[in-house]
Structure 1
């Protein structure tokens, strides 16, 4: 029986650290933490090397309020997001002509549910979701080709739920799970 090597922890960015510091300070200002707890958690956030250490510093604090919808738009050309980009709670992707590539496999996903609304004219879309994500394709209207999504044989439902909706004219949506 061969076992796959564990994925090394993802290093955190300065933005992740700044967000954690802001949330700890906000928790103190709102009365959720004592002064001593704030000092301890600020130290944790400022010295954290992995996302797990940041989560520990933010435990028991209330969730941040839902952000407004973020929009990525292009009249023509390619829309591409990959690497360690921050995924908003609601993402609207608009493209009249061109391909869309969203890779969420190494993205920073802070919300248990992410809504992605596609408004595409022509050109296909490919969305790569984290290995442990659950995918729901709801109100997605396609004009020419249906969407493709192959549910993985081994389910790891511990990750976020990615809900995809919207409309596509000419082109196909392909959804896949990251391999690692």
Structure 2
């Protein structure tokens, strides 16, 4: 007997795939996967069609820590984080019209690599990173204005890496290092 279309499991959504890719990247960054294993599992995650196949691609990974991922979202206005706040491993900032100000200079950064994903329509973003942080913004796509960033002359070994990715529509990203 042929299964009717309504009998098939629902297709995997993009959010499910994105979450699986994020988990694989996190496991790789924490040393749970080799580079080859990461490539193989990423390929599986991006090509599977059922939730069971997706679950098998994530099998044997350590349980996901809820504190490693966070989303800050606002339709408009301002998004601000500063002072002594705990920075998750993956931080997603979403807004259609808000101005974003993230100050990581006094934040508690427990991970060697922090991924910040910006999904902004209009409105600029300013990110202040620790004085000795390494900044990588190659994964950021800007539609209107270029990113402003001046890298420090030297970086100490063991400094945290802040990777900034995502999409910005009409705003400008300004990245600066803290002076203290």
Q: Taking structure 2 as the reference length, what is the TM-score of the superposition? A: 0.62
**CA RMSD across the alignment:** 1.8
**Distance in 2, Cα, partners of 1:119 & 1:163:** 14
Matches within 5 A, 1:1-180: 66-67=65-66, 68-180=68-180
Structure 1 residue 72: deviation in Å? 0.1
**Distance in 1, Cα, partners of 2:141 & 2:82:** 25
SS of match in other structure, 1:131: coil
**Distance in 2, Cα, partners of 1:136 & 1:94:** 19
Structure 1 residue 65: deviation in Å? 5.5
SS of match in other structure, 1:170: coil
Structure 1 residue 159: deviation in Å? 1.7
SS of match in other structure, 2:166: strand
Structure 1 residue 138: deviation in Å? 2.2
* 1:133–1:157 contact (8 Å) kept in structure 2: no
Structure 1 residue 103: deviation in Å? 0.2
* 1:125–1:172 contact (8 Å) kept in structure 2: yes
Gap regions ≥5 residues in structure 2: 1-62
Total equivalences in the alignment: 118
**Distance in 2, Cα, partners of 1:136 & 1:90:** 14
* 1:96–1:121 contact (8 Å) kept in structure 2: yes
Gap regions ≥5 residues in structure 1: 1-63
Q: Taking structure 1 as the reference length, what is the TM-score of the superposition? A: 0.62
**Distance in 2, Cα, partners of 1:136 & 1:66:** 24
